[in-house]
Amino acid sequence: MSWNTVIGLEVHSELNTKTKCFCGCKNEFGDKPNTNCCPVCTAMPGSLPVLNRDAVERAILMGLAVGCRINNYSVFERKNYFYPDLCKAYQISQLEYPLCVGGGLEIELEDGTKKFIRLDRIHLEEDAGKLIHSRNGTMIDYNRGGVPLIEIVSKPDMNSAEEAVAYLQKLRSTLLYVGVSDCKMQEGSIRFDVNISVNRDGEPLGTRTELKNLNSFRAVLRAIKYESARQIEELEAGRKVIQETRRWDDAKGKTYSMRTKEDSQDYRYFPDPDLIPLDVTEEYIESIRKKLPKLAPERKAEYQKMGLTEQDATLITSERAYADFFEAVLKYFNEPKFVCNWITAEVFKKLNALEEDDRKISVTPQDLAKMLELYKNGEINQAGARKIFDALWEGETDPVRLVETLGLKQLNDTGALKAVLEKIIADNPKAVAELKAGNEKTMAFFVGQAMRATQGKANPKLVNDLVRELIK
Amino acid sequence: MKYLDYSLTEIIEKLKGGEVTSVELVKECFERIKETADLNALNSTYEKEALARAKAIDETRGRGEDVGVLGGVPVVLKDNINYLGTRTTCASKFLENFISPYTATCAQKLHDAGAIVIAKANMDEFAMGSSNENSAFGPVKNPVDNTRVPGGSSGGSACTVKARQCFMSLGTDTGGSIREPSSFCGVVGIKPTYGRVSRYGVVAFASSLDQVGPLTRTVRDNALALSIIAGADPMDMTSSQTEVPNYLSDIDKGVKGLKIGMPSQFFTDKLSPSVRSSLDKAIEWYRENGAEIVPVELPSVDTALAVYYVISSAEAASNLARFDGVKYGVRAENYEDVVDLYFKSRTQGFGKEVKRRIMLGNYVLSSGYYDAFYRKAKRVQKVIRQEFLSALEKCDCLISPTTATPAFKLGEKANDHVAMYLTDIFTVPVNIAGVPALSLPCGVDEEGLPIGMQLIGKHFDEAMLYRVANAFELAHKEGK
Amino acid sequence: MSITIDDVKKLAKLSRLEFTEEETKEFVKEFEATLNQVDAINRVDVSNIDLLEKTIDADTELRKDEITPSLRADEIVSNAPASEDGAFLVPITVAED
């Protein structure tokens, strides 16, 4: 009998509100320690939390985007434990009555099969501070303490590392579409915990372990593969899987035991008496629903109506940033297929060379639109377009000027091109013979030679036409 | 003592009329504080700062500018109320050197009204106690009889007002901590409706029960003081938006035609004879002056103390977890790692009663006990609250003794915490129900010890309590 | 209601408090007395009580997402037993999550 892997994911995502969840301090990454802090977010005696309305709205917005039911009655509870990054020694979180329950996401796998991953809940809570190690000990910075987080808990509906990563990618994309989180893995604004167990076909679920310290999709992929193999190995050797939390060591490519269930904490959850239960009315939910931006499926359908293929529409809506950019370019140059082709080929090539967090389109829609217009109208050729695009990506602006300064104006002068080609034809009788014999590949040779002779400015289509005319 | 015998209301008029300056008042307060230092009512005093502020206020007034309702009046804050730059110790060794980095809303409101904070009052550590013997800085003595306790936990706040060290003070009340010391010391103290006064900046004991209230020598003074500190606060989600009425507009209307409920459960054989007879006389006076006394029932009220110990200890255990030796307060000298630092700092910093409550609180919240204790207690709380609401539908307010006996001797109950807890049997149910209650002097026993009566009102109807209390007080002036 | 020495020890650990053996024994006795008193909550019939219903007048509006001034880092750590460059300082602590 073969083994099944069962995976559930807990995703923590920081919300991009201006201020923290329970006080008016700035929600900002990377500032000097404790400069975005006040009595509330450093647990000064006597301070009290006051809930940020936008944090609630963003959590509900995400819930609506993934089809959750929004609870009309929602309670904040205290999760009590001692740790230096948790200044109150309790985290304000939700347990019994979370804001959102149910819902789910459809993922698409490499082979095109689709699968629906159910969600258990989405709840709102606060982030902890950060520990920084110094020569004298551990320094505590509470700038991140109190930043609003949503925890998105899936059902154990995934059965492979690939499914888990597809789910995470879809979830991240949805968060970005809804616009409630920056989802920067390196800054920790999105973090993943994996629950994993294995069992044989037809047998009940196995004992699960929880994996922590997964900082990239690649880490999730590797950690799940490692842990699933480790559990199978344990069981096949007649040993047991222990219910525990394990830490992923990315450098070593292994998971290590952090703590077992026996010394797991008793969090003593109880409703936070400083925060009254949230009364989320249907009217309020509807007013938030109106703020829900267009999500991928809706945009995909629109793009297909513009003439994009399903594949292209899927590609360009895979992230909100791409779709937004696509639409922005169309405002200046309304050639959907042409624009889409450039984005999915050239822009994606640039982006794929970057780390996930750094994937930012560094060309303005106006400039790209102008460049594509020049290209489409034959004022520059593809090689020229690429050169301008490279320059724009490096921070240059104004494609019209770049055509001049880079000397990329396409040579469309039939007479001049003819003269160049006549010489090439005369110098290469062998190639002429091949072309005449029907070897179409030889045409590329002529185009290449023509390009070389014109410093890349020749209009390739015109070259093509002229060669045929001249050797007829 | 030239001015300190005057009430708050009277001294405001004298300041306005230029009969006395704020500097003179502050000086007299500090003379008095020094004379009565053995009462141990205060943990920190701010003579220099107070005089500087008094001088500034006198000058402002001299220029004919507005100095606020309390312009130039010396006041004292309980030592669990943050006031920027002052020490806020909660009478705990843990916070011995803690300097407030911010100001509580109630203190800010007093400040904005022109009051001068001259000192912070001693208390039971973290407001846990009924005798003020649980202070890391020693017990407070009752100013009427210094062999007796002043009550707690706001013992210093009651003592400083009675001993004429100031004109008013603020206390906090979680299960009787304003009313019991008011009763023992013979002053007027109110525990407002939960949500009436902001808790922001007041070091929490039990968040769902804590309320701030003023302690004064007259009912009118108290109404004035509450009107200044009451009201919604954007920094406290549990503060109420309910409008604050003018507590003085109906205060002289008398009690004719009012209905005063007498809960049979509060008039038990546990009352000392002196308390019983004082209450009987007070009730008789109300009847003679046109009030109708109606019998009411609070059938589950005898379980309020149990509910209180579960809920308040649970909240306290969580509220006091932040005292870990990392951000402020005591850090033990020798420790192995951060976990050891927690254990040692907390063990050294907290007193016995505080540790007792933390342990009980964690017990009732821990897995396996939560439903049987915490959740159950919250349910019983709703029953008790409902009983109060029903009883208060039949009348305008309730009357009861504040405590079963007058002030007891220092050390008398120190080793019997259950007996100590029973001191609060009449005050605790009020916090459980969230309603307001006021304690005012209603006589003295054969040894001259003050006896207090408690008036309990409907939610946000503090005005009624002031009206009923003021009528009695005016008719019994000499007893003050 | 009975409570053992082990229970008290577990609670002390949960509370981050240390007690001597003697104190622990004393606690057991005290706890029993307190719990006997607390047992009174079981005398009330609460079968019809719905905890969802709000008990306080909860009409407070949520906070607008607007930045209010923070304190300076030196003010934040002004009461700290140990600090470094505006951060609180504790002995080396490993990440736990």
> Under an 8 A CB cutoff, do B329 and C17 touch?
no
Cβ A138 vs Cβ A132: under 8 Å: yes
C24: in domain: yes
Residue C35 has pLDDT above 70, yes or no: yes
Nearest residue, CB atoms, C17 vs list B232, B307, B355: B355
Confidence at A39, pLDDT banded by 50, 70, 90: very high
Helix (H) or strand (E) holding B213: strand B211-216
Neighbours of chain B (3+ CB pairs under 8 A): A, C
Angle, CA of B39, B40 and B46, to the nearest 5°: 120
Q: What gap in Å lies between CA C88 and CA A80, rounded to an integer?
A: 21
Residue written as token pair 């070259």:
A463
How confident is the model at residue C94, as a pLDDT?
Answer: 67
Percent of chain A with pLDDT over 90: 73
> Under an 8 A CB cutoff, do C84 and A53 touch?
no
Query: How high is the mean pLDDT of chain A?
Result: 93
Residue A468 has pLDDT above 90, yes or no: no
Amino acid identity at B405:
T
A281 at C interface, C-beta within 8 A: no
Cβ A412 vs Cβ A459: under 8 Å: yes
The set of residues, in sequence order, having a beta carbon less than 8 Å from that of B437 and lying 6+ positions away, is B179, B190, B191, B427, B430, B454, B455, B456, B457, B465
Cβ C70 vs Cβ A33: under 8 Å: no
- The mean pLDDT of C1-16, rounded to a whole number, is 91
Confidence at C50, pLDDT banded by 50, 70, 90: confident
> Under an 8 A CB cutoff, do A140 and C52 touch?
no
Tally of CB atoms within 10 A around A186 = 11
User: Under an 8 Å CB criterion, which residues of A touch B?
Assistant: 38-39, 42-51, 78, 80, 82, 84, 87-90, 138, 140, 266, 268-270, 273-276
How confident is the model at residue A453, as a pLDDT?
Answer: 85
Cβ B375 vs Cβ B366: under 8 Å: no
How confident is the model at residue C97, as a pLDDT?
Answer: 46
> Under an 8 A CB cutoff, do A84 and C90 touch?
yes
Q: Which residues of B are catalytic?
A: 78, 153, 177
- The mean pLDDT of B75-81, rounded to a whole number, is 98
Sequence-ordered alpha helix ranges (H) in B17-73: 22-35, 47-62
Q: What gap in Å lies between CA B255 and CA B31, rounded to an integer?
A: 40
Nearest residue to B143 via CA among B2, B219, B32: B32
Structural domain for C17, as ranges:
5-42
Residue A455 has pLDDT above 90, yes or no: no
Q: What gap in Å lies between CA A467 and CA A448, rounded to an integer?
A: 12
Nearest residue, CB atoms, A33 vs list C69, C73, C82: C73
Is residue B140 helix, strand or coil?
coil
How confident is the model at residue A263, as a pLDDT?
Answer: 58
**Nearest chain A Cα distance for residue C30, angstroms:** 22
C72: in domain: no
- The mean pLDDT of B320-349, rounded to a whole number, is 96
Q: What gap in Å lies between CA A45 and CA B127, rounded to an integer?
A: 13
Residue A472 has pLDDT above 80, yes or no: no
Query: What's the pLDDT tens digit per position in B415-453?
Result: 887 778 888 999 999 999 999 999 999 999 999 999 999
How confident is the model at residue A463, as a pLDDT?
Answer: 87
Backbone angles phi, psi at B413, to 5 degrees: -115, 10
Residue B479 has pLDDT above 50, yes or no: no
Percent of chain B with pLDDT over 70: 99
**Nearest chain A Cα distance for residue B31, angstroms:** 32
What residues form DSSP beta bridges with B454?
Answer: B400, B439
Amino acid identity at C45:
D
Q: What gap in Å lies between CA B331 and CA B347, rounded to an integer?
A: 10
Cβ A336 vs Cβ A302: under 8 Å: no
A74 at C interface, C-beta within 8 A: no
> Does B153 sit behind a cis peptide bond, omega within 30 degrees of 0 on the bond before it?
yes
Is residue B145 helix, strand or coil?
coil
Query: What's the pLDDT tens digit per position in B191-244?
Result: 999 999 999 999 999 999 999 999 999 999 999 999 999 999 999 999 999 999
Q: What gap in Å lies between CA B135 and CA B125, rounded to an integer?
A: 5
Query: How high is the mean pLDDT of chain B?
Result: 96
Confidence at C53, pLDDT banded by 50, 70, 90: low
> Under an 8 A CB cutoff, do A43 and B318 touch?
no
The set of residues, in sequence order, having a beta carbon less than 8 Å from that of A324 and lying 6+ positions away, is none
Residue B334 has pLDDT above 70, yes or no: yes
Chain A: residue whose CA lies nearest to C68 = A24
Residue-level length of chain A: 472
Q: How many CA atoms lie within 13 A of A453 on its CB side?
A: 21
**Nearest chain A Cα distance for residue B202, angstroms:** 4
How is the beta sheet containing B116-121 ordered, strand by strand? B42-45, B116-121, B74-78, B168-173, B211-216, B188-191, B437-444, B450-456, B397-401, B259-263, B292-296
- The mean pLDDT of A225-237, rounded to a whole number, is 96
Q: What gap in Å lies between CA B452 and CA B278, rounded to an integer?
A: 9
Query: What's the pLDDT tens digit per position in B222-236?
Result: 999 999 999 999 999
How confident is the model at residue A405, as a pLDDT?
Answer: 85
Query: What's the pLDDT tens digit per position in A152-192?
Result: 999 999 999 999 999 999 999 999 999 999 999 989 999 99
Give the number of domains in chain C.
1
CA distances from residue A440 to A431, A434, A437, A464, C41 in whole angstroms, order as listed? 10, 8, 9, 11, 94
Residue written as token pair 């009969």:
B19
> Under an 8 A CB cutoff, do B98 and C63 touch?
no
C22: in domain: yes
Exposure string of B331-367, with b = 16+ CB inside 10 Å and e = fewer, is: bbeebeebeebbbbbbbebbbebbbbbbbbbbbbbbe
C27: in domain: yes
Work out how many CB contacts closer than 8 A connect A with C.
115
Q: What gap in Å lies between CA A11 and CA A212, rounded to an integer?
A: 11
Is residue B37 helix, strand or coil?
helix
Residue with more model confidence, A446 or A325: A325
Q: In order of start, what are the domains of chain A with their CATH numbers?
A: 3-284 (no CATH), 296-405 (no CATH), 414-471 (1.10.10.410)
Residue written as token pair 């306005």:
B16
pTM for the full model? 0.92
Nearest residue to A89 via CA among B322, B340, B325: B322
Chain A: residue whose CA lies nearest to C10 = A266
How confident is the model at residue A258, as a pLDDT?
Answer: 84
Q: What gap in Å lies between CA B394 and CA B298, rounded to an integer?
A: 12
Q: What is the 3-state secondary structure (H, E, C) of chain A?
A: CCEEEEEEEEEEEECCCCECCCCCCECCCCCCCCCCECCCCCCCCCCCCCCEHHHHHHHHHHHHHCCCEECCEECCEEEECCCCCCCCCEEEECCCCCCEECCEEEEECCCCCEEEEEEEEEEEEECCCEEEEECCEEEEECCCCCCEEEEEEECCCECCHHHHHHHHHHHHHHHHHHCCCCCCCCCCCEEEEEEEEEEECCCCCCCCEEEEEECCHHHHHHHHHHHHHHHHHHHHCCCCCCCEEEEEECCCCEEEEEEEHHHCCCCCCEECCCCCCEECCHHHHHHHHCCCCCCHHHHHHHHHHCCCCHHHHHHHCCCHHHHHHHHHHHHHCCCHHHHHHHHHHHHHHHHHCCCHHHCCCCCCHHHHHHHHHHHHCCCCCHHHHHHHHHHHHCCCCCHHHHHHHCCCCCECCHHHHHHHHHHHHHHCHHHHHHHHCCCCCHHHHHHHHHHHHCCCCECHHHHHHHHHHHHC
CA distances from residue A286 to A65, A290, A358, B276 in whole angstroms, order as listed? 13, 6, 35, 60
Nearest residue, CB atoms, C41 vs list B356, B360, B380: B380
Is residue B84 helix, strand or coil?
coil
How confident is the model at residue C8, as a pLDDT?
Answer: 94
Nearest residue to B364 via CA among B321, B322, B317: B317
The set of residues, in sequence order, having a beta carbon less than 8 Å from that of B442 and lying 6+ positions away, is B278, B279, B281, B282, B451, B452, B453, B472, B476, B479
- The mean pLDDT of A226-252, rounded to a whole number, is 94
